[in-house]
Amino acid sequence: MNRIVNRGLGIAALAASLFAGSATAAFPEKPITFVVPSAAGGSPDVLSRLFTTQMSKDTGATVVVENRPGAAGNIGISLIKRAAADGYTIGYGNINTLAVNRSLFKKLPYDVDADLTPVAHLFDLYNVLIVPAESPVKSVQDLIERAKAAPGKLSYGASGVGTTGHMGGELFKSMAKVDVMFIPYNGGPAALQDLLGGRLDFIFVNTSEAVPLIKSNKVRALGVSSLKRLTLLPEVPTLDESGLKGYETIAWGGVVAPKGTPPAVVQQLNAALVKALAAPEVKTGLAGLGAEPAGGSPADFQKLIDAETAKWKKIIDTAGIEKLD
């Protein structure tokens, strides 16, 4: 377990400022535990700490970040599910734990709809389709043509089954109507190493991983998974404008609480997190990782979860991906 405490000016400052005058003015009266279903140091952890640190600064609350990695995020989400529904245990949920895993696993230790309450959509992170710098492939259409000319011969990899890199590849296969081979890796660095070594033809990686490689001319970027060009990579076209109309994959992330958490508390937590989004430190931190701030209400986050669950279920079913135990 990895616990780091963000200490502010005290709980009294929180009650006197952000939560003053609310129907649940006594909240919080003790530290808030923020569960991250992944190891310390990874993107979910870094992004979560960005928000919890700012939340502490803004409100004076004490927020304890607790890392609970394992089982594709299912362990951490289960901890949130089992916690008291009082707002004192919340945590990070993303495209995998709240949408993809629902169709990828035979059985989950939690039910997203029955066990969790959406609090806030925090950010959107996009993927970049890259090939080795020495690759003869110059564009998305070039990759599609080569894949069609040699069915089953080209390969791509990702850091495990069900990751956004894997799902982005499956969406690419479906929309481009090509047959390419997927190779799962135990972590993103191994997949990148094989790409750079010429053992993979292409991969989808998030912007924070792709940008340094692109800038150092180690890889060539063919397209980004957003519907509009990214500020970080304005010269790279979207897959949508490259012929795959409507192609979009978003490695979104947000915050959830146990089902039954009082609506007033959920709204207070949402307000604190949305306020954190406006902080210059958070904006800078997100931009450095290639992420874009989101925001909105708990209801908005619920709509996103529902839409993404349906989208990825269709893709997983179409691809015939074997469900995991």
Q: What is the pLDDT of residue 26?
A: 67
CA-nearest of 271, 264, 254, 299 to 99 is 254
Residue 119 sits in the same domain as residue 38: yes
Q: Which domain holds residue 94?
A: 2-124+250-319
Q: What is the pLDDT of residue 3?
A: 44
Range of lowest pLDDT (133-137, 159-163, 165-169, 175-179): 159-163
Tokens for 225, please give them: 């998974």
Residue 132 sits in the same domain as residue 212: yes
Residue 114 sits in the same domain as residue 173: no
Q: Which residues contact 292 (CB under 8 A, 6 or more apart)?
A: 123, 124, 125, 286
Residue 215 sits in the same domain as residue 300: no
CATH of the domain at 215: 3.40.190.10
**Rounded CA separation 304/279 (Å):** 24
In a domain, 279, yes or no: yes
Asked if 121 and 285 touch (Cβ cutoff 8 Å), the reply is no
Residue 193 sits in the same domain as residue 277: no
Chain mean pLDDT for the chain: 91
CATH of the domain at 28: 3.40.190.150
Q: What is the pLDDT of residue 124?
A: 96
Q: Which residues contact 125 (CB under 8 A, 6 or more apart)?
A: 43, 206, 207, 208, 250, 251, 252, 253, 289, 290, 291, 292
Q: Name the β-bridge partners of 320.
A: none
pLDDT tens readout for residues 253-283: 999 999 999 999 999 999 999 999 999 999 9
pTM of the model: 0.84
Domain boundary residue, one of 173, 207, 224 = 224
* pLDDT band at residue 195 using 50, 70 and 90 as cut-offs: very high
Res 29 pLDDT > 60: yes
In a domain, 235, yes or no: no
Asked if 49 and 282 touch (Cβ cutoff 8 Å), the reply is no
In a domain, 241, yes or no: no
Residue 34 sits in the same domain as residue 45: yes
List, as one string, the DSSP characters of 136-183.
S--SHHHHHHHHHHSTTT-EEEESSTTSHHHHHHHHHHHHHT---EEE
* Average pLDDT of span 303-311: 98
HSE-CB of 116 using CA atoms within 13 angstroms: 32
**Rounded CA separation 248/228 (Å):** 10
Residue 65 sits in the same domain as residue 139: no
Q: What is the pLDDT of residue 11?
A: 37
Residue 219 sits in the same domain as residue 132: yes
Range of lowest pLDDT (63-72, 148-157, 254-263): 63-72
Residue 44 sits in the same domain as residue 120: yes
**Rounded CA separation 256/195 (Å):** 35
**Rounded CA separation 232/291 (Å):** 10
Res 15 pLDDT > 70: no
Q: What percent of the chain has pLDDT over 90?
A: 78
In a domain, 301, yes or no: yes
Q: What is the pLDDT of residue 265?
A: 97
3-state helix, strand, coil in the chain (%, to 5): 40, 20, 35
Res 145 pLDDT > 80: yes
Residue 204 sits in the same domain as residue 258: no
Domain count of the chain?
2
Residue 74 sits in the same domain as residue 157: no
Residue 261 sits in the same domain as residue 203: no
CA-nearest of 200, 204, 252, 195 to 225 is 204
Tokens for 9, please give them: 């000016």
In a domain, 325, yes or no: no
Total residues found in the chain within this entry: 325
Domain boundary residue, one of 174, 190, 224 = 224
* Average pLDDT of span 161-168: 92
* pLDDT band at residue 13 using 50, 70 and 90 as cut-offs: very low
Residue 266: strand, helix, or coil: helix
Q: What is the pLDDT of residue 25?
A: 55
**Rounded CA separation 321/91 (Å):** 28
CB count, 10 Å around CB of 55?
Answer: 26
In a domain, 238, yes or no: no
In a domain, 245, yes or no: no
In a domain, 261, yes or no: yes
Q: What is the pLDDT of residue 107?
A: 94
Domain boundary residue, one of 206, 224, 242 = 224
Asked if 1 and 79 touch (Cβ cutoff 8 Å), the reply is no
Q: What percent of the chain has pLDDT over 70?
A: 92
